[in-house]
Structure 1
Amino acid sequence: MFEKIAPNKVKRVSEITKEQFFKNHKDTGIPVILPTLMEDWPAKEKWDVDYLIETLGDEVVPVYSSKPAVGKSHQHAAAREMPLRDYLNLLKNGENDLRMFFYNILNNAPQMIKDFSYPDIGLKFFKKLPVLFVGGRGAKVQMHYDIDLANLILCHFGGVKKVLLIPPEQTQFMYKVPFSFSALYDVDFLNPDFEKYPALKYVKGYEAELKHGDALFIPSGYWHYIVYEDIGFSMTLRAFPTKFSQRLSLLKNIFVTRTVEGLMRKTRGQAWNDRNERKAVEITNRNIPSA
């Protein structure tokens, strides 16, 4: 699916020790699929769309559009709120724009906590943030990296999901929008336009195909773009970065970058958005190596 920009396939490793995980993946920043990590979880057998409807169907949840915010709208404002049952039924009927994300299981669905455990692979998980992400057939998640720079274990349930992963070292070629954690919305990572966005020719990433029961390790700072090939949902387990430089960046992201973005969007509106989109192209194209 991402052949033009991801020549590497994420390896699947069924058996791995803590030492092997750190040596081959955590310390080297190389993603990996762990298909047996959830083998003994009740969630692997129980969790599907019907289970969510039965367990949480009456809960009112925020859902989000894949379209970028315009004007003075908050960058992460919900498109609407509705009972989870109604949202999942929309997905069954073909809805693929509205997504649910960062839904905290601990706060909103504590009955689901007993269905999984934190894997003993050496990561120190932040246990207050097991969060769900849900999407319909054909849904796409804009290219981004996580503000907290966490090491992620993405545990997938339901239909196939494809994930494009780009190492943080390639950020200079990603058409990153200033004061955000996303790439330019108009960049199509499925069918990249190398004439319009020439820096993409220097991007070399990984493609992961996730099926029900797969767990994907996404190292700290990795960019990721997601395509749902069918209705599905994932839970992320988060381990905050351990390097001092990454922790400084985390604090800057939360207390400086996000604050400036929010204030400028409120005061300047669309002019601020347009300015940042122009800068994304100008800055990235300057990073293209000279012949």
Structure 2
Amino acid sequence: MKLEDIQRVKTINREDFIKNYYKPQKPVVIENLITDWPAYSKWNFEYMKQVAGDITVPLYDDRPVDYKDGFNEPHSKMKMADYIDLLRQQPTKYRIFLWNLIKEVPQLQNDFSYPDFGFRFMKGLPMLFFGGMDSYTFMHYDIDLANIFHFHFEGKKECILFPQTQNRFLYKVPHSLITHESIDFSNPNLHEWPALEMADGYKTQLNHGEVLYIPEGFWHYMKYITPGFSMSLRGMAHNSKNLGKAVYNVLVMRHFDNLMRRIKGQRWIDWKNDQAIKRTNKILP
């Protein structure tokens, strides 16, 4: 894979962000955007344990997709206090994924604000993500192809991104939002996945308080180098093609995939994974 380091800036104003990153749809890391937020100094594992310790949270791991799993159905559940203790004590594959902080802990919304970067954020959908050392998300893109601001807290996280133009090289699973789940994007076996050598993407590592702008529809792979957590704020896709894809994903693709899981069971999952390999390898010389 050819991975370019994502550009970094200390701070940025609205005009420069729109001109240099939003309009050309390029990712960027902003290092000092949120130093004036209460969250910058308050948000750590201990604080989250205090404000949300008694809440039962959904947990996900890196097990292969099973036909019995519903869309975004968690693999386990645990009290937040117990989960944070687990993160501190030992490596774990369990992650919290798409946890709506306003719904679950309304007081947390007093600790941050929405940046003015020229588009509207979906203010009902701030999401938190937690993970243990070496846990990771499969390479995927979001169902609504949103513009995402990803704010990292506590620890260090590896991020690898690809634009939608690289789909044909990534072993994309049909009727899904993921690539083949056997690929380790932090250290891919290019003999087994040769098309990845032709893929052009981006990489960076995030530290506490840093913000990654992920342009609309970008594929993203996130790996926790150390235990940590992040928050994502999202704005709707503006490109008409991406908006059309988002509507299709929500209204058609998701329901079709769930229907086929019920009808064909594991055969449907196996067929999709097989097609991801066959379709991608067709482009090889």
Tell me the TM-score normalised to structure 1 length: 0.95
Partner SS state of residue 281, structure 2: helix
**Structure 2: how far apart are the matches of 1:205 and 1:244?**
23
Give the Cα separation in 2 of the matches to 1:182 and 1:45: 34
Q: Secondary structure at the match of 1:252?
A: helix
Counterpart code for 1:257: M
In structure 1, which of residues 103, 121, 127 is the aligned counterpart of residue 123 of structure 2?
Answer: 127
Aligned residues: 285
Unpaired stretches in structure 1, ≥5 consecutive residues: none
The one of 111, 115, 136 aligned to 1:115: 111
d(CA) in 1 for partners of 2:125, 2:72? 18
* 1:14 alignment partner AA: K
Q: Which runs of 4+ in 1 moved over 2 A?
A: 71-76
Partners of 1:85 and 1:189 in 2: how far apart? 31
Counterpart for residue 280 of structure 1: 276
Aligned counterparts of 1:85 and 1:116: Cα–Cα separation in 2: 22
Write the deviation string for residues 147-166 of structure 1: whole angstroms up to 9, x where unpaired.
Answer: 11000000000001010111
Residues 6 and 164 of structure 1 are in contact (CA less than 8 Å); yes or no, is this contact kept in structure 2? no
2:36 is aligned to 40
2:102 is equivalent to residue 106 of structure 1:
yes
Which amino acid letter does the alignment assign opposite residue 104 of structure 2?
A: N
What letter matches 1:50 in structure 2?
A: E
Counterpart of 2:273 in structure 1: which amino acid?
E
Partner of 1:140: 136
**Partners of 2:134 and 2:100 in 1: how far apart?**
24
CA RMSD of aligned residues (A): 1.2
8 Å CA contact 1:74–1:265 kept in 2: the answer is no
1:37 partner amino acid:
L
Residue in structure 2 matched with residue 153 of structure 1 by the alignment: 149
CA distance in 2: counterparts of 1:52 and 1:133, whole angstroms: 12
For 1:27, which of 14, 23, 26 is the aligned residue?
A: 23
Distance 1:283 1:263 in 2: 23
Q: Is the contact between residue 165 and residue 207 of structure 1 (CA under 8 Å) also seen in structure 2? A: yes
Residue deviations 1:236-279 (CA, integer Å, cap 9, x gap): 00001112221111000111111111111112111000100110
- Secondary structure of the 1:142 match is coil
Q: Following TM superposition, by how much is the alpha carbon of 1:34 offset from its aligned partner in structure 2, in angstroms?
A: 0.6
1:131 deviates by 0.6
Q: Deviations over 1:186-223 (max 9, x none)?
A: 11212222222111110121111100000000001111
Residue 6 of structure 1, CA deviation: 4.2
> What residue in structure 1 maps to residue 5 of structure 2?
9
For 1:164, give the aligned amino acid.
Answer: I
1:226 CA displacement: 1.1
Tell me the equivalent position of 2:237: 241
- Report the alpha carbon displacement of residue 106 of structure 1 after superposing the two structures with TM: 1.3
Q: Structure 2 residue aligned with 1:230, among 226, 247, 264?
A: 226
Partner residue, 1:89: 85
Alpha-carbon distance in 2 for matches of 1:192, 1:80? 28
Correspondent of 2:193 among 189, 192, 197: 197
Counterpart of 1:127 in 2: which secondary structure? coil
Number of the residue aligned with 2:160? 164
1:271 to 262, 267, 270: 267
Q: Aligned partners of 2:63, 2:155: CA distance in 1, in Å?
A: 23
Residue of structure 2 aligned with 1:57, choices 47, 53, 69: 53
| Cα 1:55–1:272 shift into 2, 3 Å | same
